A = this chain, B = another copy of it.
Amino acid sequence: MTEQLFILDEIPGVLWTPEDTHGTRPLILMGHGGGQHKKAPGILARAHRFAAERGFAVAATDVPHHGGRPRDQEFDRLATEYRARMAAGEETAGLDTALYTLVVGQTIAEWQTVLTAVQQLDHIGGRPVGYWGVSLGCALGIPFVAAEPRVRAAVLGLQGAPVLAGTAAQITVPVHFLVQRDDERIPRAQSQALFDAIGSAEKTLHANPGKHGDLPRFEMDDSLRFFARHLG
């Protein structure tokens, strides 16, 4: 697998492609979680398998205020409060929405820019695109997938913010939605309601025991096969 770091219009990103770069290939864009970055362990592990086992290309960027990107005061203040509340076991849903609101518009525009640039490459091309993102990556992914016709399938989940329901209803592509039954951050009823709100005729919820960070490894296999089925 080849890993290519890039900076495009001040967006730091990374593109992984399989060694054998003969012909074009489907591209998966991955959105990282809150406080993470484009090469967080979960992103990296998925990118490796998606490229090695199915020959997909995988791209990820640092979301604004994440990874190596500059932070502004407002974001820092909210993020500090978020961590304090998490540590105290307090409700964080309102802060989640505030943090999301700070970055969502810019992130969607950046992902569209990256998609356009990456699809110019001879060994990627204009094939169908998949989106993978949970937690913050789902909050940002829902409006991105709803807005972006190049995306033909999406893995989402670990999210339940009611503010997302209206946008989720505009999604029409097949969706895998991941739920952790013992998620300490997302109330069960809210994640169920967000899944129900998704407009797609084909959508599957996969729920497993465990906390927010405990997605079982076999869900990675299922994501891979889901993309293989829909992106061919």
Contacts and interface: CB of A to CB of B under 8 A. Distances in A.
* Interface bracket on A: 20 to 34
Contacts of A206: 204-206
A3 interface: no
Copy tally for this chain in the complex stands at 2
Interface string A204-219: 1111110000001010
A205 B203 CA distance: 13
18 contacts: A179-B205, A181-B196, A181-B205, A188-B192, A195-B207, A201-B209, A202-B216, A204-B207, A204-B208, A205-B206, A205-B207, A205-B208, A206-B206, A207-B207, A218-B229, A221-B225, A222-B222, A225-B225
Contacts of A207: 195, 204-205, 207
Interface of A: 179, 181, 188, 192, 195-196, 201-209, 216, 218, 221-222, 225, 229
Nearest to A208: B204
A74 B204 CA distance: 39
Given A181-B196, A196-B181, A222-B222, A209 B216 contact: no
A225 B221 CA distance: 10
Nearest to A198: B209
A208 B203 contact: yes
A195 B218 CA distance: 18
A229 to B, nearest CB: 7
Nearest to A200: B209
Given A181-B196, A201-B209, A204-B216, 10 more contacts: A179-B205, A195-B207, A202-B216, A203-B208, A204-B207, A204-B218, A205-B205, A205-B206, A207-B207, A225-B225
